[in-house]
Amino acid sequence: MVEFAPKPDLRPANPHFSSGPCSKRPGWSLDQLSDAPVGRSHRAKVGKSKLAEAINLTRDVLGVPADYRIGIVPASDTGAVEMAMWSMLGARAVDMLAWESFGAGWVTDVVKQLNLDDARVIEAPYGALPDLASVDFSRDVVFTWNGTTSGVRVPDADWIPANREGLTICDATSAAFALDLDFKKLDVVTFSWQKVLGGEAAHGVLILSPRAVERLETYTPPWPLPKIFRLTKGGSLIEGIFKGETINTPSMLCVEDYLDALKWAGQIGGLKGLMARANANLNAIESWVSQRDWVGFLAKDPTIRSNTSVCLTITDPRVTVLAESAQAAFAKSIVSRLDSEGVAFDIGSYRDAPAGLRIWCGATVETTDVKALLPWLDWAFEQEIAALSAAA
């Protein structure tokens, strides 16, 4: 293969740009988890105190209102979203917003699993947002704050009225700790700590407003609820869930890892510090893209562009003229080449998304590593263009 550009001299110190599980915080090591009460019951005093500390630090870093409950739940963000939908939906009609894979998944669950006939689906293609002005807040509303697979986020919460009648259920898994969530506009917030804070997988966080708690305590869905979804008993909220008494057995090693990440967040300035790091990473890519004609953002509108799951498309006409399968193969070749060089792992676009690249830019990623990666993207693209020309 002809190489008409030399390899860049500088490599990212940390090549972990996966969109989940995401890169560990700078300076992380297993030694940081030595205080984890492994081999102990999570219901022992030491276990419950660790879980309660994780809840309290989550409140502090995110700025969650004092009257909102925070619980640690099973099955990552997916489990938290499903728990909310299965427990609360059906009390009134619902608007489902979808503009990428996970939002579409929630639509499937509501329409085909819960069989809600009064569900209205408001959609947009990858790279865009649906018409937020068309949302009816006399209904419940389910949406993702940041589309992990499309790199598209809502710009803010101004489109949500304070005097809404329905509940807002927000999947915030790639937004929490990187974007400023307006909790007063949100009744249910879910996320996984494996995203922006780089925690270990399998655990979710569920945040409930007083309005959401009222729904739980006054409404019984018509379908059976598995034990793992049950948030009430005898018509009252199971308060223990929101004090560290989890529904099922959590990994205390993972909880310790989350505590380590939360404490690191506090050391770098809390939420503002986390957001600044993610924004700096996005800014580095935006500056680079603005000087290139072979690559662009899937989210063309910068006001809705994610600062965590940054999704890029290949815009060079030598590639866009190809069939979709060939475009996908071209992008995968870039990903494979960078992986084999050890400079970027797991940066391919999501399997259901348009062909391209997806670079995680959350707070645990150093801007110096993002900047070191960018010349490698140019280099890999040129190598694949050379291979494409040679095969023609």
The pLDDT of residue 131: 98
pLDDT of residue 56: 98
The pLDDT value recorded for residue 129 is 98
Quick: pLDDT tens for 204-261. 999 999 999 999 999 999 999 999 999 999 999 999 999 999 999 999 999 999 999 9
Mind listing the domains of the chain with CATH numbers?
30-266 (3.40.640.10), 270-391 (3.90.1150.10)
For the chain, residues with pLDDT lower than 50 are 1-3
pLDDT in tens, 124-139: 999 999 999 999 999 9
Q: What are residue 270's phi and psi, to 5 degrees? A: 65, -145
Give the residue carrying structure tokens 């190809």: 322
Q: Name the 3-class secondary structure at 154.
A: coil
Kindly state the DSSP code that residue 299 receives in the 8-state scheme: S
Report the pLDDT value the prediction gives residue 2, as an integer from 0 to 100.
Answer: 42
The SS3 call for residue 243 is helix
Q: In sequence order, what are the residues at sequence separation of 6 or more whose Cβ sits closer than 8 angstroms to the Cβ of residue 276?
A: 269
Note the pLDDT of residue 108: 97
Q: At what angle do helices 45-62 and 270-289 cross, to 10 degrees?
A: 60
What is the arrangement of strands in the sheet containing 357-360, beginning at the earlier edge strand?
295-297, 309-314, 357-360
**Paired residues of 74 in beta bridges:** 203
